[in-house]
Amino acid sequence: MTEPENRCRLVLIVPDIADVDEQARIVADALKGGDVASVIVPQYGLDDGTFQKHAEKLVPLIQDAGAAALISGDSRVAGRAKADGLHLSSNAEALSEAIDKHAPKLIVGGGNAADRHHALEIGEVRPDYIFFGKLDGDIKPEAHPKNLALGEWWASMIEIPCIVMGGTDPASALAVAETGAEFVALRLAIFGDPARAPSVVAEINALLDEKAPRFED
C-alpha cells in the first residue's frame, strides 16, 4: 500500500462490538479500502481478559494491512498483543510516565487536551502525537469546532503531530485536513454501516488526495 505524500492521513477507531470475530472481520474489511496510518483499539466496557483477546485478534490484522496498531489505555495488553503503540486519554503526568517506560519501543501518544493550556503541558513531555477530542466523541456529523480550532492552532506552531477527531460524516475528514492536522480520526463515519466501510475509506482517501492541503517539507 502506498502512503499518500505529505497530506493528512486517516486514523481508524475500532467500533464497539462485543463479538471479537465480527469486530475483527469489520476492521479487516475497512482496511482493504485504502491508506490508513493507524488504528486505535479502545477497551470500551470489556474486562481486561476479554480486551486482551480482542487486542490479540486485531493487532496482527491491523499490522498486516500496513497500519500501526495502538492499544488504548492498557500497556500490559499492548505489550502482550505486540501492538505498535499505546494511546492514553490522560494527563501530561501519566503520559510522561508511559513515555519514560515504553518509548521508543512503543509509540506513545494521546492526551486529554481540552484546551491550549493542557495541550502545551502535554507537548512538554514530547509524546509521539497529541489527540484532540474523545475516542467516542463523534456524536455529530461535523467535527467538534473546538477540536478543529485546537488542531489548527497546534499544527501551525508545534512539530509534534496531532490527530483530530472527526464527526459521523465522512466529509468531516476534509475539515480536519484543512486545519493542517497530520491525522484525522474516524469511527462511526467508517463503521456506522459496516458493509460500506471499505468503500468509505476509499472515498475519504480520494477526497483527501484531491482536496487536502499539502504539507511543506
d(CA 183, CA 191) in angstroms, rounded, equals 18
- Listed in sequence order, the residues at least 6 apart from 126 whose beta carbon sits closer than 8 Å to its beta carbon are 99, 160
Please give the share of the chain, as a percent, with pLDDT higher than 70.
99
The single-letter DSSP state of residue 194 is G
Whether the Cβ atoms of residue 162 and residue 197 lie closer than 8 Å to each other: no
Confidence of residue 2 (pLDDT cuts 50, 70, 90): low
**Cell numbers linked to 15:** 467500533
Across the range 18-38, mean pLDDT stands at 98
104: cis peptide before it, omega within 30°?
yes
pLDDT digits (tens, 9 = 90+) for 171-211: 999 999 999 999 999 999 999 999 999 999 999 999 999 99
Q: Is the pLDDT of residue 62 over 70?
A: yes
- Altogether, the residues listed in the chain come to a count of 217
